[in-house]
Amino acid sequence: MPLSKKKIGIVCPYGWDTPGGVQSHVGDLAEYLIRQGHHVSVLAPAIDDEKLPDYVTSAGRPISIPYNGAVARILFGPIAFSRVRQWIQAGDFDVLHLHEPAIPSISLLACWAAEGPMVGTFHAAAKRQKVSFAVVPFLEPVIEKLTARIAVSEAARETLREHLETDAIVVPNGIYASRYSDAHVDPRWTGNTLGFMGRFEEKRKGLDILIAALPTIISQIPDLRIFVAGPGDSKEVLKDIDPYLRDRFSFLGRISESEKADFLASVGLYIAPNTGGESFGIILAEALAAGASVIASDIPAFDSLLGHGDFGTLFTSEDPADLARQVIALLQDEPGRRAIAERGKIFAQNFDWEVVAEKIYDVYEMAMVGGNGVSLLSENRAWNRFLGRQQ
């Protein structure tokens, strides 16, 4: 791809030490670009500076604050701001890639401080909140500085349009598709099994909807078993379940990346009953890449990822009766299920990093046209001179 090697600066707003979608996206993207021969530097908050990969620079310790219905580990304030400015100054980047620049974080600070080719990626999909009326006038001139905007999904693009009245190019999140398509089928998990992954204690992951649908499903599929992978306290969940359902559940806890691939490739049906709060649904892309049959709630993110039902089955969100009906139909129709999964596996190649990173790099290239690299904003420079700060 690249004829010339570029210096690329990426800002990740969330703490590097905590696992999360944005963090792994940034990490994978940075590693891909480095393999292509570019110079990549990532700026992110981090608790432990020692454990960071070479390409990550710490911006300081993140603070946990509640934001948008979850606890976000982010960072801002004057010290962070001066770190951001130092990093931009020292990096001498050709292009700056800011993730989630519309939340109070180092991404926003970087967007404020820098000038030149800048690309912003918007991950979140959220309903319009009252407070955004108050912050939009401040955000607008800052977000406007982005040369190009990327949204990870149609849902994120819609959010951006509603909140900030600006459009974006949709480039999906990336996965390493080969990791999943080469997965091994593990007989422990095959048969009439349902697979579920994620922090099952969180209400929006929708495990309780699956549980509500179970009695109906089991009346038709007596040998059904359910495997739940992900961190959480299984006793809490099990104690509210009807005793005769309990022994059908197996909780696997947190599983490794390779186990995850095998898990997705093996289960009879992968189920994602999420009730909302998803912007992209990377796990569904991974499940498709592994060749799994997928059933998911029809929330906007899943609906568009599954091609409105072409690559996986959709059920009415938060409706256990519909879920039960669809699961029974799918488990009783092996050839039909396989056919959808085969289509999905091919479709999932679109999410491979080879494709996604090239698209992102295309956006970089466009942003870089006519730009002479990233520098600190001249306004700030004038003030710095005035205040006698060192450049």
Partner 1 sequence: MSKYFPLILFILFIGWYLSYSATRLDRLHHRVETSWANLDGLLQRRAAIAIEIARSDISDPASAMLLTFAAHQARDASFRDRSQAEMGLTGALGILIESADDISGPIEKDLILELTDLTAKIKMAIAMHVEAVSRTHMVRKKWFIRVFRLAGNAPEPVTYEFEGDVL
* Positions in the binding site for partner 1 (CB under 8 A): 115, 141, 144-145, 147-149, 166-169, 359, 362-363, 366, 369-371, 378-379
Helix axes 106-113, 78-91, angle to 10 degrees: 60
**Residue 290 amino acid letter:** A
- Contact present, 327 and 337 (Cβ < 8 Å): no
We find the least distance from the C-beta atom of residue 141 to partner 1, in angstroms, to be: 5
The strand pairing partners of 151, in sequence order, are 122, 170
Nearer to partner 1, 48 or 379 (CB): 379
Nearer to partner 1, 102 or 272 (CB): 102
Nearer to partner 1, 185 or 382 (CB): 382
Nearer to partner 1, 220 or 375 (CB): 375
We find the least distance from the C-beta atom of residue 366 to partner 1, in angstroms, to be: 6
Q: Residue 174's CB: how many other CB atoms inside 10 A?
A: 23
- Contact present, 290 and 183 (Cβ < 8 Å): yes
Nearer to partner 1, 243 or 370 (CB): 370
We find the least distance from the C-beta atom of residue 324 to partner 1, in angstroms, to be: 39
We find the least distance from the C-beta atom of residue 167 to partner 1, in angstroms, to be: 6
We find the least distance from the C-beta atom of residue 158 to partner 1, in angstroms, to be: 15
Nearer to partner 1, 117 or 320 (CB): 117
- Contact present, 279 and 123 (Cβ < 8 Å): yes
- Contact present, 10 and 42 (Cβ < 8 Å): yes
Size (the chain), residues: 391
Query: Which residue blocks in the chain are alpha helix, DSSP H?
Result: 21-35, 78-91, 106-113, 131-143, 154-164, 177-181, 207-220, 234-238, 243-246, 257-266, 282-289, 300-305, 320-332, 334-347, 353-368, 378-387
Residue from 110, 118, 180 nearest 148 by CA: 118
We find the least distance from the C-beta atom of residue 387 to partner 1, in angstroms, to be: 15
We find the least distance from the C-beta atom of residue 74 to partner 1, in angstroms, to be: 26
Would you give the end-to-end CA distance of the chain in angstroms? 35
Nearer to partner 1, 329 or 366 (CB): 366
- Contact present, 147 and 117 (Cβ < 8 Å): yes
